[in-house]
Structure 1
Amino acid sequence: MAKIAVDSFGSENAQLYTLTNSRGMQVSLTNFGARLVDILLPIDGQLRNVSLAAKSDREYMEKDSYVGSTVAPVAGRISGAATLIKGETVHFTENEPGRTLHSGNHTSNEQYWESEVEEENNRVVFSLVLPDGYNGFPGAVQVQATYELTEKNELKINYWAKSEKDTIFNPTNHVYFNLSGDFNRTVAEHMMKIQASQFLPLGEDNMPLGEFWPVDGTAFDFRQFAPLGQGMDGQDPQTKLVNGFDHPWVLEDTDIPVEVISPDEKVRLLMRSNQPAVVIYTYNHGPTDMAGRHTVFSLECQGFPNACNIENFGSILLEKDQEFDSHFSYQFEF
């Protein structure tokens, strides 16, 4: 087993950690945003990177500080930039008109986390304390993000948290994939299968309507393998609304709820999760300095977005001294 390599990653605060297994797979991480950087797969004698990445912390700050990062305490949008926590109204930073996106400004994705290397487990543990009241969120909240690379080519991600006050907590990882390794190429030809019979529709404001719609007869039906491009042709009213996918699917309780196969069929991605939803975003806003439109996709494991303000979406309340545990993984067959 190769040792975990540690290198600088831009500014003096940023470190890059590279995990390698005996099969030649490599995963690089940075303490800047507890972020997944590269996922390198040995294919045809070369290393294929299937994760959208920048070269330094500065480049992420300049181009897109969400890519690959840990988004905490709450991923997605919170309507009204406020919620009720045990009967008390709590207001958050409004960084989009009338709402809070990804927990407000300069949150976990732009922080330098403490790092602990566990070579015997091929694992890195990042730790951060979100201060009480930061962007309005009650706390203080201790957060840990753990990344582990196994001999089965599985990247395991675990989020743990504990708060000193009642708060809300619903994090995710914002990794973007292109299994072809060509980030100038659309992901439309990727074949995807999702064990989900329902998805959450969005309104004109991109917020969930609070309803569960069947996937039958829609672009959201991936119960059998289908091309990701079926959500990019603008024929379905929901995909036309956001120029692709930016929606949560309601995952069934099964071992492998999501599978994706690269266009050349040389890479298969298996996703596992203990979370109720996966948000799939097909980078509908490109081109940007990071990627072109529809050239990457996300698999964001989390609770239902805006659950704190939608009664039938389940609870994302994290009570004082309660422990939060989210785990999910991306396994690669190649």
Structure 2
Amino acid sequence: MALSTIEHVVIGTIDGKEVDAYRITGGETTIEVMTYGAILTRVLRPDRNGKVEDIVLGYDNPASYVNNPGNAGAICGRFSNRINLGRFTLEGEKIQLPTNSGPHHLHGGLPGYGKRFWLADPNPEQNSVTFRLHSPDGDQNYPGTLEATATYRVDGMGALELTMEAVTDKTTIVNMIYHGYWNLAGHASGSVTDQKLCILADHYTLVTPEKIPTGEIAPVEGTPFDFNKPHSIGDMIADAWPDGGYDHNLCHTVYDGKMRLTARACDPASGRGFELYSNQPGVQFYTANHFKALPTEGKDGALYETYPGFALETQHYPDSPNHPDFPSVTLKPGETYSNRMKFVFSKDMAL
């Protein structure tokens, strides 16, 4: 019978409050998730020779997640990614959110959901832990009281399932994301530019120099954003942005709210890889560019520098409330928002 366990530990404090962590094992996968930010702090996976590495970036001290940039491993919301000038209109009401990325709103404001404590509810029968967050009406000036959950589950085959859900008592907008950084060679192994990636997306949202969508959705063919045929992350990374690096929303060919294959990724040297399934219309591909400008000490004393990890943030498109042609992010009473992800890991994968 496949191994499956949940272990509870206290891993530190933030502002005098204990931080609880839950270690979930299923098959050959062990993860650790903590109550602050509902952050996925560790994912342990073997390579083709059985060598186990932690393949997500993060920090040993929970307090480091408070001030270090990048929302490593966190659940971000209420509306993740960017909203132009923090402004949108909802049911005829003009709403102004706080701005925390220059003149724009990013990842739900300060503090967003990734910088708050969540309540943990472990479920040994499902080999899962559900984290719960109460977001009151007017939180960061969003309308409506939102009850949000993030459930991490590891199945008996070692696949990681993450389900983010929310309900509201008043019409609002929601776009919760998982903001983790992967390095399939091991979090301390340096640049991910030699790791290979396939993203099943035929268009991308064009953006301004401040990374705000222009409203135009363009084909990826012939651009650095075409990953439909697998290739190394570094092949065209210098051309993705004026100073290099990816931070772009790619649009899937088919979106109907059902789970579909979104991406494949692997480290050719070790064989570690995964298939990512999602029910969202887009995915933000981000190569952790902020570490290039501000190298940061991570777990085990590792120095995260240029392109030390990559994120695949399944999502609705950035600035969606200001673009009626984008898939809707409006959530009404009686509806349930759901962003589902499933990572099916491999220890001998080739692309």
- Per the TM alignment, residue 305 of structure 1 is displaced from its structure 2 partner at its CA by 0.8
Mean Cα displacement is larger for which, 66-75 or 11-20? 11-20
In the alignment, the residues of structure 2 paired with residue 162 and residue 170 of structure 1 have an alpha-carbon distance, to the nearest angstrom, of: 12
In the alignment, the residues of structure 1 paired with residue 136 and residue 316 of structure 2 have an alpha-carbon distance, to the nearest angstrom, of: 23
Task: Kindly provide the CA deviation profile for residues 63-94 of structure 1, in whole angstroms up to 9, marking residues without a partner as x.
Answer: 23611000011111110211101110011111
- Per the TM alignment, residue 201 of structure 1 is displaced from its structure 2 partner at its CA by 1.9
- Per the TM alignment, residue 315 of structure 1 is displaced from its structure 2 partner at its CA by 1.0
2:247 is aligned with what amino acid? D
Residue from 70, 84, 87 that aligns with 1:79: 84
Inter-CA distance 307–242: structure 2 relative to 1 (3 Å threshold): farther
1:247 aligns with 2:252: no
In the alignment, the residues of structure 2 paired with residue 182 and residue 325 of structure 1 have an alpha-carbon distance, to the nearest angstrom, of: 29
1:324 aligns with 2:329: no
1:47 aligns with 2:52: yes
- The residue number in structure 2 matching 1:314 is 327
1:191 aligns with 2:202: no
Residue from 3, 6, 9 that aligns with 2:8: 6
- The residue number in structure 2 matching 1:26 is 30
1:76–1:306 contact (8 Å) kept in structure 2: yes
Task: Kindly provide the CA deviation profile for residues 151-192 of structure 1, in whole angstroms up to 9, marking residues without a partner as x.
Answer: 222110101111111110011000000001153421111111
Inter-CA distance 34–182: structure 2 relative to 1 (3 Å threshold): closer
2:327 is aligned with what amino acid? G
- Per the TM alignment, residue 222 of structure 1 is displaced from its structure 2 partner at its CA by 1.2
Q: May I ask how many residue pairs the two structures share in their alignment?
A: 329
SS in 1 for 2:242: helix
Task: Kindly provide the CA deviation profile for residues 81-111 of structure 1, in whole angstroms up to 9, marking residues without a partner as x.
Answer: 1110111001111112321111110121111
Mean Cα displacement is larger for which, 96-105 or 60-69? 60-69
2:335 is aligned with what amino acid? Q
- The residue number in structure 1 matching 2:301 is none
- Per the TM alignment, residue 326 of structure 1 is displaced from its structure 2 partner at its CA by 1.5
Runs of 4+ in 1 over 4 A off after TM superposition: none
- Per the TM alignment, residue 230 of structure 1 is displaced from its structure 2 partner at its CA by 2.3
1:65–1:109 contact (8 Å) kept in structure 2: no
2:187–2:309 contact (8 Å) kept in structure 1: no
1:231–1:245 contact (8 Å) kept in structure 2: no
Mapping of 1:142-161 within 5 angstroms? Answer: 142-161=147-166
- The residue number in structure 1 matching 2:42 is 38
* CA RMSD, Structure 1 to Structure 2 (Å): 1.6
1:104 is aligned with what amino acid? G
When normalised by structure 2's length, the TM-score is 0.90
1:52 is aligned with what amino acid? L
- The residue number in structure 2 matching 1:56 is 61
Unpaired runs of 5+ residues, structure 1, are none
Mapping of 1:224-243 within 5 angstroms? Answer: 224-234=229-239, 239-241=240-242, 243=244
1:294 aligns with 2:294: no
- Per the TM alignment, residue 255 of structure 1 is displaced from its structure 2 partner at its CA by 3.3
2:57–2:187 contact (8 Å) kept in structure 1: no
SS in 2 for 1:283: coil
- The residue number in structure 1 matching 2:75 is 70
- Per the TM alignment, residue 323 of structure 1 is displaced from its structure 2 partner at its CA by 1.4
- Per the TM alignment, residue 257 of structure 1 is displaced from its structure 2 partner at its CA by 2.2
- The residue number in structure 2 matching 1:215 is 220
Residue from 257, 263, 269 that aligns with 2:262: 257
2:196 is aligned with what amino acid? M
1:50–1:180 contact (8 Å) kept in structure 2: yes
In the alignment, the residues of structure 1 paired with residue 39 and residue 174 of structure 2 have an alpha-carbon distance, to the nearest angstrom, of: 18
- The residue number in structure 1 matching 2:182 is 177
Unpaired runs of 5+ residues, structure 2, are 299-303
- The residue number in structure 1 matching 2:316 is 303
Inter-CA distance 51–160: structure 2 relative to 1 (3 Å threshold): same
Task: Kindly provide the CA deviation profile for residues 236-277 of structure 1, in whole angstroms up to 9, marking residues without a partner as x.
Answer: xxx123521100111133832200111315112100000000
- Per the TM alignment, residue 42 of structure 1 is displaced from its structure 2 partner at its CA by 2.4
1:165 is aligned with what amino acid? K
- The residue number in structure 2 matching 1:122 is 127
1:132–1:139 contact (8 Å) kept in structure 2: yes
SS in 1 for 2:63: helix
SS in 2 for 1:15: strand
In the alignment, the residues of structure 1 paired with residue 111 and residue 198 of structure 2 have an alpha-carbon distance, to the nearest angstrom, of: 35
SS in 1 for 2:260: coil
- Per the TM alignment, residue 5 of structure 1 is displaced from its structure 2 partner at its CA by 0.6
